[in-house]
Structure formats: structure tokens, C-alpha cells
Amino acid sequence: MTTQQSSHRAIREISVRQVFGLDTDLTVPAFCDATEHVPEIDAAYHFNHDVTLAILAGFVQNRRVLIQGLHGTGKSTHIEQVAARLNWPCVRVNLDGHISRLDLVGKDTIVLREGRQVTEFQEGILPWALQQPMALIFDEYDAGRPDVMFVIQRILERNGHFMLLDQNRSIAPHADFRLFATANTLGLGNLNGLYHGTQSLNHAQLDRWNIVAALNYLQPEDEVQITAARVPQMDNEQGRQTIRKMVDLANLTRKGFEAGDISVLMSPRTVITWAENRQIFGDTGLAFRLSFLNKCDDAEKELIAEYYQRCFEQELPEAFVGTLQA
């Protein structure tokens, strides 16, 4: 990929095959040194081919990239881990219900100057990030409030200047400013009840993103590898066998969810938490209950306990709920 970067920082070409483990001869420019806000490298990170190429296009070609996918599939960390390897500073802003337009844009605040109270404009995160070599990631993009989405639309245009209305000042984005977003849903909002508080993104909103990449499930063997890397005590043949069953169970919940049998599904993040809790409690079944089953609706516990039985050939007490009531 050719670069559009025009920073004064030193740049070198890196091999995508070597750095990201992808099957391609592509090279991309990366900053030589890490500066403040560059995420730490997670050496165990496993890069998805298409999503990584999309994110690299975002960085190198200044494309606006939106990544959509179910929760816990690695959307946010994917961007962060690419940034870490390019030495690109990066901040994440979660757009869930709490963040307001003023948090983003900035507001007048009262400060003390030489003993006198004066009103001063304090820049919000958006103008601050816009003027630096910085990747700004909007997480939970589909949960943003309408006033916040309105502000974001204005900077989505490439080279779009940002007008600080209150200040009567126009801000030109830094040549190495980049914009990414992650969302659980796209246009559908909370159709299946899994993502409360999400809004439907309208077409005008989606149109402004140059690239939309999907990151749903990992290949089972990849998920096993990722989990084993997170819980090194299980990174051996026996441990991996157990993780394989855990991933099988997670995939049963995903199929069950798709078929409408259950209303929750086990994310890759929960598989990792389950493996970690298993180390703490030394008991796969107990850890399963504490990490996932107790979050499920009572009416669905029996079926989920049955999934467990199918994968581990072991009964959980929850499997008998129906029998006890009968």
C-alpha cells in the first residue's frame, strides 16, 4: 500500500506477513517509535485476514472503517492491536448512552486566573484528537445518542474540517488523524433483543463509512488457540482438549441463539473468562456456572445445561430443574 502519511515521525515499511501473520506479500508503512497513547502489543493476538486488511487500509489510506460484529469477537482490540504494531497513537471512546455532545466537542468552564474567575473553553475529546496523529475509535457506535451522532457525521467526510460553533473556529484534521468505529448491529437496531439501547443507523450514517468489515465468529481452532494463549496453564495438549469442548459449547449457544432456542450466546470473551475462572476454581462446571450460566434466564438454564452435558458428558444440577418441578 502506498502511504498518505505526512507526519514528521520516522517511518519504515513492515511486512504484513511477518507482523500480522497473514498470507500476503503486502508491506505497509509504520512509525518507527512508540509515542504516548500507542497501545501495548499483545503478542498472543490473532489477526483476522479481511478485518486486518480493512483496518490497514484505514490507517494507510485514510479510509473510514466501521467494524460490525457480535459482542466479544475482538472488534475493538483488533483495531488497537493493529495500531500497536504501526506505533499509531489510539484512543477509544465508548458511545454508550452516557457520552454527550459536550463531552465530545467541549464546553465553557469556569477557571481561576490570577485570583479572578474567568470562563474558558475546554476542548472536548474530538477537537483534541483531530489535531494529532491519532486513531479515534468510536466503540458501540450503534448506541450513540442522536446529538452525538450529529456531531460525528460532520467529521466523517474525509478531510472534513470541524467547526467549533461555540468558538467560531474551524479545525483542520491532522494528516495522520484516523477514524474507526465498532458496532454490534448495523441498520437493524435491537431486532433480536440482544442489544438493548442500540439505535438503527440510517443510510446517511452508514454511507459515510468507506469500509464496513464484519467480524463475527472465529474459526473454532483459532478460538482454541486464542483462549490457550490467554490462560497459559491450559496451553498444553490436555488443556487444549478442554478448551475445544468449551468452544464447542459456545458454538452450540450461538447456533441455539440463531435458531431462536435461547436468547443469549456465549462470546469469545466469555470463553476466555470461563477458562480463567476454571483456573481459579479448579472446576470446569462451577466456573461455567459462574461465568455464563448464572447470567442466563431461568427458563433457558435447563437447555444450556444440556449443551454442557453434550460437550462434557457430565450433568450440571441445572439439568434437573425441569425434573424437580415436574
Ligand X SMILES: Nc1ncnc2c1ncn2[C@@H]1O[C@H](COP(=O)(O)OP(=O)(O)O)[C@@H](O)[C@H]1O
What is the binding site for ligand X (CB under 6 A)? 44-46, 69, 71-77, 182, 226, 268-269, 272
Binding partner of residue 57 among Mg ion, ligand X, none, CB under 5 to 8 Å per kind? none
Binding partner of residue 268 among ligand X, Mg ion, none, CB under 5 to 8 Å per kind? ligand X
Residue whose Cβ sits closest to Mg ion: 76
- Residue 3's Cβ-count burial label (10 Å; 0-12, 13-18, 19+) is middle
**Distance in Å, CB of 246 to ligand X, minimum:** 14
Residue whose Cβ sits closest to ligand X: 74
**Distance in Å, CB of 94 to Mg ion, minimum:** 8
**Distance in Å, CB of 181 to ligand X, minimum:** 11
- Contact status, residue 182 vs residue 75, Cβ threshold 8 Å: yes
- Complex with ligand X: residue 38 or 215, whichever CB lies closer: 215
Residues near Mg ion (CB under 5 A):
76, 139
- Complex with Mg ion: residue 139 or 318, whichever CB lies closer: 139
**Distance in Å, CB of 20 to Mg ion, minimum:** 20
Binding partner of residue 73 among ligand X, Mg ion, none, CB under 5 to 8 Å per kind? ligand X
Binding partner of residue 74 among Mg ion, ligand X, none, CB under 5 to 8 Å per kind? ligand X
- Complex with ligand X: residue 74 or 173, whichever CB lies closer: 74
**Distance in Å, CB of 277 to Mg ion, minimum:** 21
**Distance in Å, CB of 99 to Mg ion, minimum:** 15
Binding partner of residue 269 among ligand X, Mg ion, none, CB under 5 to 8 Å per kind? ligand X
Binding partner of residue 127 among ligand X, Mg ion, none, CB under 5 to 8 Å per kind? none
- Complex with ligand X: residue 48 or 132, whichever CB lies closer: 48
